[in-house]
Amino acid sequence: MAKRLDIKDLNLFYGKFHAVENVSLAVPPKNVTAFIGPSGCGKSTVLRSLNRMHEVAPGARVEGKVLLDGEDIYASTVDPVEVRRTIGMVFQRPNPFPTMSIRDNVVAGLRLAGVKDKKKLDEVAERSLRGANLWNEVKDRLDKPGGGLSGGQQQRLCIARAIAVQPDLLLMDEPCSALDPISTLAIEDLITELKKEYTIVIVTHNMQQAARVSDQTAFFNLLGVGQPGQLIEVDDTEKIFSNPGQKATEDYISGRFG
């Protein structure tokens, strides 16, 4: 299931604006990679380019290669819909589908792809909710709307929804930024669990979170306003937080920037 990801010379644009410059990075399978860096440095943009969500924005453009087990997801023959089916994503704010029950939310990806077998859908729903550590909390109200859950539960519901389609890679865009510390802890535990089966890339503003959950950390920075964001360095999380190779990284991590 879990695949490796290689980013090669990635340049991202919004119209004429060069948002991110020359990113090259390797993510080994069954590994958590954290993207850290100040706001506006392009880490979310890079993340969104990894499942071709970047191009959803009007005028957005991509140059370079993103290889999933050696296969370029930006090759002209590749259908972006297929890419997104293979690479799941969890967003900053929990966004369950408001018209659907908890169960339907989890299996939305399969059902809308045409899977009709009710028994199979129920199995997937249970397995995914268990995988997202939510099963025990919702098993008695699977037919209730997903919007009635708490923020933390909704976010775990969204994670369940993302893993229900069994992606090869899971992208998380600040998944805990709208959550309280207890829910955050629940999600972090979950990420550690998911690592056994999935390759995960997570964007976070919380440095402790990066230190707690990730195996390797990539630090992005912005040289100035209007300049493209850059990947400053990427290394084992332990090394980045104890002995970073670049001064900019050290300044950012220790709270001295600029």
SS3 253: helix
Q: Which is nearer to other proteins, 43 or 54 (CB)?
A: 54
Among 120, 144, 239, 247, binds other proteins (CB under 8 A): 144
Contacts 24+ apart (CB under 8 A), 190-196: 190/132, 190/133, 190/156, 190/159, 191/32, 193/131, 193/133, 194/131, 194/159, 194/163, 194/170, 195/30, 195/31, 195/32, 196/30
Nearest approach, Cβ of residue 159 and other proteins (Å): 12
Q: Which residue in 1, 56, 75, 223 binds other proteins (CB under 8 A)? A: 56
The CB-of-146 to other proteins minimum distance in angstroms stands at: 9
SS3 188: helix
Binding piece for other proteins, criterion CB under 8 A, among 64-72, 90-98, 233-241, 246-254: 90-98
Residue 165 binds other proteins, judged by CB under 8 A: yes
Q: Output the smallest distance, CB 205 to other proteins, in A.
A: 19
Residues 6+ apart with CB under 8 A from 205: 36, 39, 174, 177
Binds other proteins by CB under 8 A, chosen from 18, 91, 178, 207:
91
What distance lies between CA 39 and its chain's CA centroid? 17
Contacts to other proteins from residues 6-45, by CB under 8 A: none
Task: Put the strands of the sheet holding 229-236 in their side by side order.
Answer: 71-72, 60-68, 5-14, 17-27, 229-236, 216-222, 32-36, 199-203, 169-173, 87-90
d(CA 8, CA 214): 21
Site for other proteins contains 225 (CB under 8 A): no
Site stretch for other proteins (CB under 8 A), options 65-73, 93-101, 204-212, 224-232: 93-101
Binding test (CB under 8 A) with other proteins, winner from 103, 161, 195, 212? 161
Q: How far is the CB of 198 from other proteins (least distance, A)?
A: 15
SS3 21: strand
Binding of other proteins at residue 158 (CB under 8 A)? yes
Mention every residue, 6+ apart, whose C-beta is less than 8 A from residue 107: 115, 121, 124, 125, 128, 164
Question: What mask, x for binding other proteins by CB under 8 A, covers residues 97 to 126?
Answer: xxx--------xx--xx-------------
Q: Which residues bind other proteins (CB under 8 A)?
A: 51, 53, 56, 58, 81-86, 88-89, 91, 93, 95-99, 108-109, 112-113, 144-145, 147-148, 158, 161-162, 165
